[in-house]
Amino acid sequence: MENEKMSRGGELRGAGDEVLCRSARCPRIPLSLKKGRRPANRMESEKMSRGGELRGAGDEVLRRSARCPRIPLSLKAGRRPAKGIMSECQPFTLDNRCSMLYNSTVRYDTKIRRVVMQTRQNRRVQKTREQIRAAAQRLFLQQGYLGTSTDAILAEAGISSKETLYRHYASKEELFVDVLGHLTLEQPRISSRLSEMPAPHDLLSLRQALATIAREILSIMIHPEYLALLRVIMAETPRFPQLGPLFRATVPERGLFILTALLRQAREQNIIADVDFDAVTHALLGGLLTYALLDIFFAGEDAHPPSLERADAVVEVIMRALTRE
């Protein structure tokens, strides 16, 4: 009788311990169950079957639909019906709908796992990179560029392997460039704000854009860490001439490029006159640098940071040179 229930009731158990609910109105879904507990008696078996709940040795609980046929649960792993009854059982195969659903679910789950693992990996890489850069910045400001070794940077960052350092930075020069960029216009906050800036469409929007850029540049120039790094560059450039080109390419040329691109957009919109962009951008950047050098860098004890309104005043002078007569 139990064998007939196993065959006619719609439950097949193979060597893999899969319970398969076969019914025209119930989806054919393989349920990966572990070893099930055998009922103590027939009454308990009927309760387990009519109650609509299948419980395995693990935590997995399967609630049967009212439309599913009753499935006897008095099975143990590896127990099979007699040979005569076994001949009536047909091999289980997924139909197209179930197969497509199963495959799409597996692909989606695999994709989600891959994205999560990649996100975690990127976070670890970014954290390590920031850790190395912060340690190098502290040492560059304290000991100078030439006085800072890669071993000292590793010790300051708490990293024991040089391979980890060279995986992120191919050389000490590259690390120094990243430190410079982090202190200047390549800061995430500044770079995102500049990238979201719309193209000018009239003189007022051009003045606002130039004022925004000038304020950002002046705020960088008067920052204590930027000025300290500038002192290091000026002091060590004679002994290490490569520092000059590194600084020029990372800081001044970056600002000149942004200003020139903005003025070209204004010229294409026929907002400003046809002027020498190189002279205008150097005048704007030089005017801001003068405030940082004279009011702070060379001022000594009389140093006083200029207000950001000085950037607006420089922009106003530049706007008069750009306006058509």
pLDDT over threshold 50, residue 153: yes
Q: Assess whether 100 and 75 both reside in one domain.
A: no
Mean per-residue pLDDT of the chain: 75
Of 93, 108, 138, the last residue of a domain is: 93
What's the confidence (pLDDT) of residue 95?
55
pLDDT digits (tens, 9 = 90+) for 73-104: 444 444 444 444 444 444 445 456 566 666 66
How many domains does one find in the chain? 3
Q: Assess whether 222 and 195 both reside in one domain.
A: yes
Q: Assess whether 190 and 296 both reside in one domain.
A: yes
Q: Assess whether 130 and 219 both reside in one domain.
A: no
What's the confidence (pLDDT) of residue 139?
94
Report the CATH number that the domain containing residue 212 is assigned in CATH.
1.10.357.10
Do the beta carbons of residue 133 and residue 147 sit within 8 Å?
A: no
Share above pLDDT 70 across residues of the chain, in percent, rounded to a whole number: 66
Share above pLDDT 90 across residues of the chain, in percent, rounded to a whole number: 38
Q: Assess whether 124 and 138 both reside in one domain.
A: yes
Does the residue 89 lie in any domain?
A: yes
Instruction: Calculate mean pLDDT across residues 5-13.
Output: 43
Q: Assess whether 152 and 121 both reside in one domain.
A: yes
DSSP labels, 67-89: TSPP------TT----HHHHTTP
Q: Assess whether 308 and 213 both reside in one domain.
A: yes
Do the beta carbons of residue 275 and residue 206 sit within 8 Å?
A: no
* Spatial separation of the C-alpha atoms in residues 260 and 213, rounded to whole Å: 12
CB atoms within 10 A of CB 50: 9
More confident residue, 180 or 14: 180
- The SS3 of residue 292 is helix
* Domain carrying residue 271: 184-322
pLDDT over threshold 90, residue 315: yes
What's the confidence (pLDDT) of residue 25?
44
Q: Assess whether 45 and 108 both reside in one domain.
A: no
